[in-house]
């Protein structure tokens, strides 16, 4: 997924001749702590709330009141946007075309929405976390085990456990009942440390039969 798919085009921008008071008013209305200063479609810099508070006179024009000008290209990955915004605690990140034209911005809500779609958070299925040593697993084998149990992989992420040689592999699959996949993984000595799924279909059948039995016993 690219930033051009999650950017917001209609966020008001500031002009160099705008006052600090106008900037603060816009930030308050938009619930943002940053706004871009743009002149004739060209991005100049990213103004922060702190920059305005540091002005000697907030009624004066912004001019060159800030020197910080982070941005991201519209063809960049949303993961790059996440890295930049989290690293610098940005509430907004300007988006530019390859020719330098300002086309909009990524905000935290639009970024979260994009990441949610990228991870298939809203899709039905099961979540499985496998713990391995960093170099002691064969990803293709794990994928084969899942697919051989008719599981389609919706998303996959990996991260290291701090101060250890452990790696966590996190899979989202399209099966509501992941029991066959879990058994296959354990059979091949993969350590499943967490899984989340809907109650197994067999459990639903057993619960229904138990409810029917209790009903007749109470008659």
Q: Parse the chain into domains and list their residue ranges.
A: 3-116, 126-198
Where does the pLDDT of residue 161 fall: very low under 50, low under 70, confident under 90, or very high at 90 and above?
A: confident
Give residues with Cβ within 8 angstroms of 136, minimum separation 6.
none
pTM over 0.85: no
Going by CATH, does the domain composed of 3-116 fall within 3.40.50.720?
no
Which of these, 168, 195, 169, lies nearest to 181 by C-alpha position?
Answer: 195
Neighbouring residues of 153: CB distance < 8 A, sequence distance ≥ 6: 143, 146, 147, 171, 172, 173, 174
CA pair distance 87, 96, nearest whole angstrom: 19
- Per-residue pLDDT tens over the stretch 6-20: 999 999 999 999 999
What's the mean per-residue pLDDT of the chain? 86
Q: Thinking of the domain 126-198, which architecture would CATH place it in?
A: 2-Layer Sandwich (3.30)
Q: For residues 25 and 50, give the distance between their C-alpha atoms in angstroms, rounded to a whole number.
A: 14
The yes-or-no verdict on residue 159 having pLDDT over 50 is yes
Count other C-beta atoms under 10 Å from residue 92's C-beta: 24
Do residues 90 and 76 touch, judged by C-beta distance below 8 A?
Answer: no
Question: What pLDDT does residue 217 have?
Answer: 46
Specify the DSSP element, H or E, that contains 61: none
- Alpha-carbon separation of residue 159 from 60, 100, 129, 132, 138 (angstroms): 48, 34, 11, 11, 15
């Amino acid at each position: 997924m690219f930033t051009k798919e999650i950017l917001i085009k209609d966020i008001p921008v500031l002009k160099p001749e705008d006052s600090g008071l106008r900037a603060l008013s816009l930030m308050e209305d938009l619930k943002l702590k940053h706004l871009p200063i743009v002149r004739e479609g060209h991005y100049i810099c990213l103004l922060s709330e702190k920059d305005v508070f540091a002005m000697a006179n907030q009624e004066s024009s912004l001019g060159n009141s800030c020197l910080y000008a982070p941005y991201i290209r519209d063809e960049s990955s949303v993961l790059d946007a996440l890295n930049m915004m989290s690293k610098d605690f940005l509430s907004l990140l300007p988006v530019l075309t390859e020719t330098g034209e300002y086309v909009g911005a990524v905000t935290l809500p639009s970024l979260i929405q994009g990441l949610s779609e990228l991870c298939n958070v809203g899709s039905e299925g099961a979540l499985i976390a496998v713990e391995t040593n960093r170099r002691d697993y064969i990803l293709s084998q794990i994928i084969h085990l899942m697919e051989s149990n008719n599981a389609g992989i919706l998303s996959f992420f990996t991260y290291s456990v701090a101060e250890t040689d452990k790696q966590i592999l996190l899979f989202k699959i399209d099966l509501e009942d992941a029991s066959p996949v879990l058994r296959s993984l354990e059979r091949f000595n993969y350590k499943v440390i967490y899984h989340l799924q809907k109650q197994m279909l067999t459990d639903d059948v057993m619960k229904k039969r138990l409810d029917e039995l209790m009903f007749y016993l109470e008659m």
